[in-house]
């Protein structure tokens, strides 16, 4: 079967700009290791874009894995589940990596890792049932943004013709999606089957960057083995360029369609789901076990033994780093998420959230770049996949002119950081973009 590698499609659209970041995919061949149960977890009630949950357990309660401990009636939100079994020892406020304060439930382990008895496979035969099940599973986009997945699935029937399974993983260092493709390839495919069938999406594209040949080979060979959907599910190779995995970029690469500013992927007939989220849906439908753990890449110049680990949601990142041999040099910066879009944290005492896909720690040498004056070189503009002129918007933001900022397209910015990455003067362009957007928001508020 030497030449039996099935057909892999190549990209349809070629996005402008983007940057070539060093990949550092050091852990690409490291199997995901399940860490032993921690003594305690701190589970934030706000782990998604949208409304936070309210804790529904009290100090002293005994909980077990998969039991709902926080919920809300808001649609754009997902319930939160206990990730270890044990006793609730605190319900209070903590500060998350992004500086936002959130309620959180602390659970001290009883060491048993007992599953909640009420867990059973959900009924998911219709669109409504599937959406309800996915909401109940607590799933948010596992690729980083943390958008509740069931909201995405609630598009108007018949409007979406392409499901794009995002396995681009364009951020440096992170390799858990790559591992997911390799280790749980059948889950990925059955997740696709479920979504495809119930949501009636005629075409599925699994989009992977070229630098993951193993994942490409495995998934395309499995896809071609499934007789029923032959020709309808295909693997697509994309250029390894950052930010290939950003939703709008991905849609353009995979289909050549441009999502209009301010619109959603479903407006151009696309649904984009992270590959780990798709595999999770398959497992959830089979077992009924909600989102209580996730895989992470732990890497960076300050980490002793970089590896991929599977940890309960809410595990303290300091504990995870301990398990990876601790620090080999004094860390100067610790990031949750990738180096391009992740958040720098000022304490190792914070919990892992559903959407975190990496913990990276760097020593001093990988430190900051000195900020100097803008030389108007235009590299930020050439790097921007959204065709924005970051230097111009930065200047406009200083004037506070909301109308000019809207005209310059500041709202289209996805904060991918390509501009700031390319800037020889080390300008804080992403911060300026956020400032620009907040000026626009404020102006809209005071007008309306």
Binding site for ligand SF4 (CB under 6 A): 374-380, 383-384, 386, 388, 390-391, 413-419, 422-425, 427, 429-430, 433
Q: How far is the CB of 427 from ligand SF4 (least distance, A)?
A: 4
User: How long is the chain?
Assistant: 448
Residues 419, 385: Cα–Cα separation, whole Å: 9
Q: Does 439 bind another protein (CB under 8 A)?
A: no
Q: Could you say which of another protein, ligand SF4, none residue 427 binds, taking C-beta under 5 to 8 angstroms by partner kind?
A: ligand SF4
Tokens of 51: 């409304």
Tokens of 73: 């009636």
Q: Could you say which of another protein, ligand SF4, none residue 395 binds, taking C-beta under 5 to 8 angstroms by partner kind?
A: none
Tokens of 202: 């005629």
Q: Does 362 bind another protein (CB under 8 A)?
A: yes
Among 111, 202, 325, 428, binds another protein (CB under 8 A): 428
Q: Does 387 bind another protein (CB under 8 A)?
A: yes
Q: How far is the CB of 381 from another protein (least distance, A)?
A: 5
Among 136, 176, 341, 394, binds another protein (CB under 8 A): 341
What is the separation of C-alpha 27 from the centre of its chain, rounded to a whole number of angstroms?
A: 18
CB 138 within 8 A of CB 79: yes
What is the separation of C-alpha 5 from the centre of its chain, rounded to a whole number of angstroms?
A: 30
Q: Does 42 bind another protein (CB under 8 A)?
A: no
Region of 412 on the Ramachandran plot (φ > 0 left; ψ -120 to 50 alpha; else beta): alpha
Residue 2 CB neighbours (<10 A): 4
Q: Does 49 bind another protein (CB under 8 A)?
A: no
Angle in degrees, 0-180, between the axes of helices 429-447 and 390-399, rounded to the nearest 10:
50
Q: Please list every residue from 291 through 330 that binds another protein, using CB under 8 A.
A: 318, 327, 330
Nearest CB to another protein, comparing residues 90 and 375: 375
Stretch that binds another protein, among 175-183, 192-200, 226-234, 388-396 (CB under 8 A): 388-396
Residues 9, 109: Cα–Cα separation, whole Å: 48
Stretch that binds another protein, among 29-37, 50-58, 223-231, 373-381 (CB under 8 A): 373-381
Residues 55, 93: Cα–Cα separation, whole Å: 11
Cα within 13 Å of Cα(345), Cβ side: 24
Tokens of 198: 């119930």
Q: Could you say which of ligand SF4, another protein, none residue 349 binds, taking C-beta under 5 to 8 angstroms by partner kind?
A: another protein
The alpha carbons of the chain give a radius of gyration, in whole angstroms, of 22
Interface positions with another protein (CB under 8 A): 19, 21-22, 172, 248, 258-261, 263, 318, 327, 330-335, 339-349, 360, 362, 366-370, 372-378, 381, 385-389, 391-392, 407-409, 412, 415, 417, 420-426, 428, 430-431, 434
């Amino acid at each position: 079967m030497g030449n039996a590698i099935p057909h892999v499609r190549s990209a349809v659209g070629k996005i402008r700009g983007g940057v070539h970041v060093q990949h550092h995919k050091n852990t690409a061949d490291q199997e995901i290791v399940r860490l032993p149960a921690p003594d305690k977890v701190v589970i934030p009630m706000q782990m998604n874009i949208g409304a936070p949950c309210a804790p529904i357990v009290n100090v002293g309660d005994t909980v077990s894995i998969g039991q709902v401990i926080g919920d809300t009636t808001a649609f754009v939100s997902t319930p939160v589940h206990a990730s270890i079994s044990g006793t609730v020892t605190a319900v209070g406020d903590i500060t998350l990596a992004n500086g936002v304060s959130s309620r959180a439930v602390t659970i001290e382990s009883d060491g048993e890792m007992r599953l909640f008895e009420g867990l059973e496979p959900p009924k998911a035969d219709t669109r409504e049932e599937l959406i309800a099940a996915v909401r109940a599973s607590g799933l948010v986009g596992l690729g980083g943004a943390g958008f509740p997945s069931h909201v995405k699935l609630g598009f108007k029937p018949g409007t979406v013709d392409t499901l794009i399974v995002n396995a681009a993983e364009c951020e440096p260092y992170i390799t858990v999606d790559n591992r997911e493709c390799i280790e749980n390839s059948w889950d990925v495919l059955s997740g696709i089957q479920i979504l495809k069938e119930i949501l009636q999406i005629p075409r599925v594209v699994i989009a992977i960057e070229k630098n993951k040949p193993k994942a490409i080979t495995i998934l395309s060979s499995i896809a071609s083995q499934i007789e029923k959907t032959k020709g309808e599910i295909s693997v697509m190779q994309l250029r390894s360029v950052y930010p290939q995995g950003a939703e709008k970029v991905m849609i353009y690469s995979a289909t050549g369609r441009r999502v209009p500013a301010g619109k959603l992927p479903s407006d151009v007939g696309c649904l984009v789901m992270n590959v780990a989220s798709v595999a999770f849906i398959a497992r959830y439908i089979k077992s009924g076990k909600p989102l209580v753990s996730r895989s992470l890449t732990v890497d960076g110049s300050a980490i002793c033994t970089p590896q991929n680990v599977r940890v309960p949601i809410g595990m303290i990142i300091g504990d995870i780093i301990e398990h990876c041999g601790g620090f080999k040099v004094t860390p100067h910066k610790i990031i949750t998420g990738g180096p391009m879009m992740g958040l720098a944290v000022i304490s190792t005492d914070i919990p892992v959230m559903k959407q975190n896909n990496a913990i990276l720690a760097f020593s001093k040498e990988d430190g900051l770049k000195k900020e100097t004056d803008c030389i108007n070189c235009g590299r930020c503009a050439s790097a921007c996949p959204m065709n924005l002129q970051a230097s111009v918007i930065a200047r406009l933001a200083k004037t506070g002119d909301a109308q000019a900022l809207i005209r310059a397209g500041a709202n289209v910015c996805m904060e991918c950081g390509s501009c700031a990455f390319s800037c020889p003067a080390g300008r804080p362009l992403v911060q300026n973009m956020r400032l620009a957007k907040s000026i626009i928001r404020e102006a809209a508020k005071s007008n309306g």
